[in-house]
Amino acid sequence: MKENIFDVLMYLFENYMEGETEILPDSDVIRTELLEAGFEQIEVSKAFDWLESLSLQGAISPTVAPAFRIFCAEEKAKLSTDCLDLILFLEQKGILSSANREIVIDRAMALENEEISVEKLKWIVLMVLLSQPDQEIAFSRMEDFVYDLIPTYLH
């Protein structure tokens, strides 16, 4: 099975993160389930590392004034112009704060051998918002955007 870290993350999001359940199985149980589902051990480990790094980000205090972001060469190489436009669009619409924008960029860059499409980036944003406290409204708006429940135009 040719799966990658992002596929593991999507599986975890759909089966554990997005659910309403308060009690999650032990991480060893989840790892075993992932291996039984056909995911490779290395990809499972990398996905858990990615999620652990996300949880370590914690809540970042937002800046007081609007911030201007210049993307470095590595970010431009990893994230297409459409991805960069999406990040700025979500920030302008109030879905991403400048602090959450930085976490999204960090988590996208952490997917080393992954090509980041606009669709993948939307899911990364959703996972970041879910991990941050007091982001329920932004998460809901992004969820509508991801599932195409509202018309959104990128110009």
Q: Using one digit for the tens of pLDDT, what is the confidence trace for 50-80?
A: 888 887 765 555 555 566 788 999 999 999 9
Over residues 39-44, the mean pLDDT reads 89
What would the two tokens of residue 92 be? 């302008």
130-147 pLDDT, tens digit per residue, is: 888 888 899 888 988 888
pTM of the model: 0.77
Question: Is 105 in a helix, a strand, or coil?
Answer: helix
Contact 121, 86 (CB under 8 A): yes
The residue with greater pLDDT, 129 or 55, is: 129
Return the structure tokens found at 54.
Answer: 């996300």
What does the pLDDT average to over 33-46?
Answer: 88
Percent of the chain whose pLDDT exceeds 70: 81
pLDDT of residue 72: 93
Residue 152 scores a pLDDT above 80:
no
- What pLDDT does 1 receive? 45
Residue 155 has pLDDT above 50, yes or no: no
Beta bridge partners of 116: 79
Among residues 90, 91, 34, 38, the alpha carbon closest in space to that of 68 is found at 91
Query: Token pair for residue 116?
Result: 């980041």
User: Angle of helix 5-12 relative to helix 41-57, nearest 10 degrees?
Assistant: 60
Cβ–Cβ under 8 Å, residues 143 and 126 = yes
3 state SS of 79: strand
Place of tokens 């993307």: 71
| Predicted pLDDT at 80 | 95
- Given a contact cutoff of 8 angstroms between Cβ atoms, the answer to whether 138 and 95 are in contact is yes
The DSSP bridge partners found for residue 79 are 116
Mean pLDDT score of the chain, rounded to an integer?
A: 83
